[in-house]
Structure 1
C-alpha cells in the first residue's frame, strides 16, 4: 500500500514522518532524496552549476542550497528550471523504491506529490495541514528567513487548501504537537501497522 504524504513548506511533514519512523513505518522522504542527490550526484550538480552559475557553489564544492533557494523562491522561472532539472532524478529514485516495496505499507513524503502527478500512483493521499500564517511563522522561526521571504516560499507552492481537495485524509497540524501525533498514530493503525 502506497500512502502519499504531502503538504506545504513548514506545514509539519517532518513532524509526521519522524513519528511514522518512530513507530517503525517504512518512509521515503523526497526532500531527503533531493538533498542526498545534491550531495552525491556529481552529474546533477555539474548541470545545476552550468545552469545557475559557479556562484552557487560553496568553497568545499557543495551547492549553496540557501543561496539557490533565495534565487528560485524569488524567481518563478528559475524555480521552474530547477524543478525540471531535479524532479526527474528524485522521481526516479522514488519509483525504484516504490517498486521494491511490493505489497507492504510505504509512506512517501513528497511536498509536490500532486503537482508532479505522483498522486496517481498512491493508494491513499494524506495532507498535513496548517494555516498559511502558521506556515510563514514557522518557516521564519526555523529558517532564519524574513517574514516576506517566508511568505514568498509558501506562496510558490500549491496552497494547502487546494491540496486538501485531493486528500483521503487530513492531518490537522493547527493545534498542539500531541494532537498532531495522535492523528498520525491513528492513521498508522488504520492503514495497517503490521503490513510493512
Structure 2
C-alpha cells in the first residue's frame, strides 16, 4: 500500500499490522546508526542534535531543494529501510500484510508486492495536511511534495486508487473496499 497522506487509524480499518516505512526511517536517524554517521559525513556534523540524532527538519530543508542531495540521502537510507521491512515481514505469520511506504515504487519494494494502493488527494489539501502534520510553512510543504514522484507515475503502478479528499469515514470505506478486493484471493477478505 502506498499512502500520500496518513490519517491516524485509517489502515486500522482493515485491522492489519502495518509496517510503516516512515517510522522505520526515523529509527535510522537515531544516534550511532550507520545511516546517521553516513548522513553526518555527507551533509555535515551540524545536522546532528546534541544527543547524536539527526535534525530531520534541517536535513529535510537541505535535501528538498536539491535533487542530487535528496538522491544521495535516499541511497543512504534505502538499504536500511529495506532491511528493517524484511525483518518485520519475517516476524509475521499473516497471509496478507499492508506495507505503508512513501517510496514504495522508487525503492523497488513495489516489485515484492501483490498489490499497490495509491492514495491521492487535491494538491492544496496535500499541502495543508503536510503543513499541519509537520509544522511546515506552505513553501516547505510544497518543496517536499515536489520532490516526490509525480502522481501520474505512481498511478501506473496502482492496483487500487483511493481518493482522500473528504472524511476519515469515507477514507475507511474506500480502504475496506480495496482490502476486500485485494485480500479475498488469499482467503482474508473480511476486514
Could you state the TM-score of these two structures normalised by the residue count of structure 1?
0.85
TM-aligned CA deviation for residue 80 of structure 1 = 1.1
Name segments (4+ residues, structure 1) moved above 6 Å: none
* 1:6 alignment partner, one of 2, 9, 18: 2
Query: What secondary structure, in the 3-state scheme, does the structure 1 residue paired with 2:12 have?
Result: helix
TM-aligned CA deviation for residue 101 of structure 1 = 3.8
* Aligned counterparts, 1:122-161, within 5 A: 122-161=113-152
Partner in structure 1 of residue 72 of structure 2 = 81
Stretches of structure 2 that go unaligned for 5 or more consecutive residues are none
* 1:15 alignment partner, one of 7, 27, 49: 7
Checking the alignment, whether the CA contact within 8 Å between 1:28 and 1:94 is kept in structure 2 is: yes
2:158 is the alignment partner of 1:167: yes
Query: Distance in 2 between the 1:153 and 1:62 partners?
Result: 21
Change over 3 Å in CA distance of 1:20–1:146 after alignment to 2:
closer
Query: What secondary structure, in the 3-state scheme, does the structure 2 residue paired with 1:124 have?
Result: coil
Change over 3 Å in CA distance of 1:41–1:21 after alignment to 2:
farther
2:151 is the alignment partner of 1:178: no
* Aligned counterparts, 1:45-64, within 5 A: 45-64=36-55
Stretches of structure 1 that go unaligned for 5 or more consecutive residues are none
2:21 is the alignment partner of 1:30: yes
Change over 3 Å in CA distance of 1:183–1:194 after alignment to 2:
closer
Give me the CA root mean square deviation: 2.3
Query: What secondary structure, in the 3-state scheme, does the structure 2 residue paired with 1:60 have?
Result: coil
Moved more, 159-168 or 35-44: 35-44
Structure 1 or 2: more strand by fraction: 1
Change over 3 Å in CA distance of 1:88–1:132 after alignment to 2:
same
Query: What secondary structure, in the 3-state scheme, does the structure 2 residue paired with 1:15 have?
Result: coil
Q: Which has the higher contact order (CA 8 A, sep 6+)?
A: 1
Checking the alignment, whether the CA contact within 8 Å between 1:104 and 1:195 is kept in structure 2 is: no
Could you state the TM-score of these two structures normalised by the residue count of structure 2?
0.87
TM-aligned CA deviation for residue 43 of structure 1 = 2.4
How many pairs does the alignment contain? 187
TM-aligned CA deviation for residue 40 of structure 1 = 6.0
Query: What secondary structure, in the 3-state scheme, does the structure 2 residue paired with 1:106 have?
Result: coil
